[in-house]
Amino acid sequence: MQFRTRAIHVGNAPDRETGAVVRPVHLAATYVQPGAGQWGEYDYTRSGNPTRKALETTLASLECGVSALAFSSGMAAIHAVTMLLEQGDHIVAGSDLYGGTYRLLTWIVRRTGIEVTLAPAHDLERLEAAFRPNTRLLWVETPGNPLLSITDIAACARLAHRHGALLGVDNTFATPVLTRPLELGADITMHSATKYLGGHSDLLGGALVVKDPKLYDRLYFIQNATGAVLGPLESFLCSRGLRTLELRVREQCRSAARLAAFLAAHPRVARVFYPGLDDHPGHEIAQRQMDGAFGAMVSFEIAGTLEQAKRVVERTRLFQLAVSLGAVESLIEQPALMSH
């Protein structure tokens, strides 16, 4: 089945009891068991929920993985990945990194005795130089947030595996519509489901998708033990958003490409960061690993001061001044003052 067909049908079979085309939202916190010490498919909603499972099934299909886990936020999903590591281990992360991930790695994860080094993921020589004998995880974003740097996922997978490390990819900006990191050798794909997957600015969520059943079992144990699961209402909203994911993302990419070209020609714009532009340093890699488009995010620098940039984001009409991204409305923000 094609991508958009799987987004509608995989994980969304009609309800077996009623035939309802839209599956019901299962709000139950606990489930009756067949007997003492005998377990049905679901027992407690932290450990599993039918509405959440439907979403996870769809996500696994779209990312070409074996299984997925839906979390209460993207940060909770990343935190679960770091819990695979132990005291004394080392993480290498790309330096073009979402501010929340930076805070998690440098202010929280380091407290547990796990070392963290940031390096430019688009420069493979400098990235490999950051590896140590105890490196167990390479974490990258592509396109990066906020500079939209492009990382060669397949090359990073070879690098990480050569050093005995896992490769995790934050695929929030590209979405599985454009890039499927597991197909390129990554071990873990992560999403802030709040963004494009949900697509309507009405849910908070995160997700991990993997291709190794044993790795899934480890992450499931961590999620169940720590409890940062996505609620059933949010799971329902995200499942609904996935049905139109490809349609939305491709239209948003077309708009972003036109906007990037307009900004690149504007006399008051100093620099535009958009992988679809021919002069973007990652353009060729993006052509190779992104499916027919270059994402719906555009970053740019004005020819002016920080204060002048602040006035720009405060005076747009259709673009609303707010953090987040990926929904049907257009947003604008100043990362240095708002998200990073």
What are the pLDDT digits (tens) for 128-152? Answer: 999 999 999 999 999 999 999 999 9
pLDDT tens digits for range 280-328? 999 999 999 999 999 999 999 999 999 999 999 999 999 999 999 999 9
Compute how many other C-beta atoms are within 10 angstroms of the C-beta atom of residue 317.
5
CA 34/CA 48 separation, integer angstroms: 17
- Domain end: 218, 242, 266, which one? 242
Is 247:264 a contact under the CB 8 Å cutoff?
no
Torsion of CA 295, 212, 215, 4, to 10 degrees: 40
Q: Are residues 231 and 280 in the same domain?
A: no
Whether residue 195 lies in the annotated active site? yes
> b or e along 68-83 (b: 16 or more beta carbons within 10 Å of the residue's beta carbon)?
bbbbbbbbbbbbbbbb
Do 85 and 33 reside in the same domain of the chain?
yes
Residue 338 has a pLDDT of: 86
Q: What CATH number has the domain bearing residue 227?
A: 3.40.640.10
Write down the pLDDT at residue 191.
Answer: 98
Catalytic-residue membership of 202? no
Per-residue pLDDT averaged across 28-55, rounded? 96
CB 11 within 8 A of CB 207: no
Please tell me whether the peptide bond between 181 and the residue prior to it is cis, using omega within 30 degrees of 0: no
Does position 340 have pLDDT exceeding 90, yes or no? Answer: no
Q: Are 181 and 212 found together in one domain?
A: yes
Single out the residue of 278, 275, 280 nearest to residue 291, CA to CA. 275
236 and 255 part of one domain: no
pLDDT per position as a tens digit, 202-260: 999 999 999 999 999 999 999 999 999 999 999 999 999 999 999 999 999 999 999 99
Do 77 and 106 lie in one domain? The reply is yes
| 16, 155: one domain | yes
Whether residue 143 has a cis bond before it, omega within 30° of 0: yes
pLDDT at 7 over 90: yes
Q: Taking residues 142-171, what's their average pLDDT?
A: 98
Residue 215 main-chain phi, psi, to 5 deg:
-65, -40
Residue 28: other Cβ atoms inside 10 A? 13
Same domain, 252 and 297: yes
Catalytic residue among 52, 98, 136, 196: 98
Task: Classify residue 17 by its DSSP letter.
Answer: T
Catalytic: which of 46, 53, 103, 158? Answer: 46
Which tokens hold the place of 227?
A: 């409890």
Same domain, 158 and 107: yes
Q: Is 53 a catalytic residue?
A: no
What pLDDT is attached to residue 313? 95
CATH of residue 272's domain is 3.90.1150.10
> Where a domain ends, among 222, 242, 262?
242
Crossing angle between the packed helical segments 232-242 and 50-62, to the nearest 10 degrees: 30
In whole angstroms, give the CA distance from residue 309 to residue 99.
19
Amino acid 336: pLDDT: 85
Which candidate in 96, 152, 170, 187 is catalytic?
Answer: 170
Percent of the chain with pLDDT over 70: 100
The reply to whether 187 and 322 lie within a common domain is no
- In this prediction, residue 337 has a pLDDT band, given cuts at 50, 70 and 90, of confident
Instruction: Choose the final residue of a domain: 242, 265, 288.
Output: 242
Going by their DSSP bridges, the two strands 90-94 and 299-302 should be labelled as unpaired
State the Cα–Cα distance between residues 33 and 18, nearest whole angstrom.
22
User: How many domains are there within the chain?
Assistant: 2
Shared-domain flag, residues 291 and 199? no
Residues spanned by the domain of 331: 245-338
The whole-number average pLDDT for the span 150-175 is: 98
Same domain? 268 vs 169: no
Q: What is the pTM of this model?
A: 0.96
Same domain, 225 and 291: no
What per-residue confidence (pLDDT) applies to 81?
98
* pLDDT tier, 339 (very low <50, low <70, confident <90, very high otherwise): confident
Residues 2 and 10: their CA atoms lie apart, in Å, by: 11
Q: What's the mean per-residue pLDDT of the chain?
A: 97
For the record, the structure tokens of 79 come out as 């935190």
Q: Which stretches within the chain are classed as H helix?
A: 3-9, 50-62, 74-82, 99-103, 124-129, 153-162, 175-178, 213-226, 232-242, 245-264, 283-289, 306-314, 335-338
Q: Active-site residue 46, yes or no?
A: yes
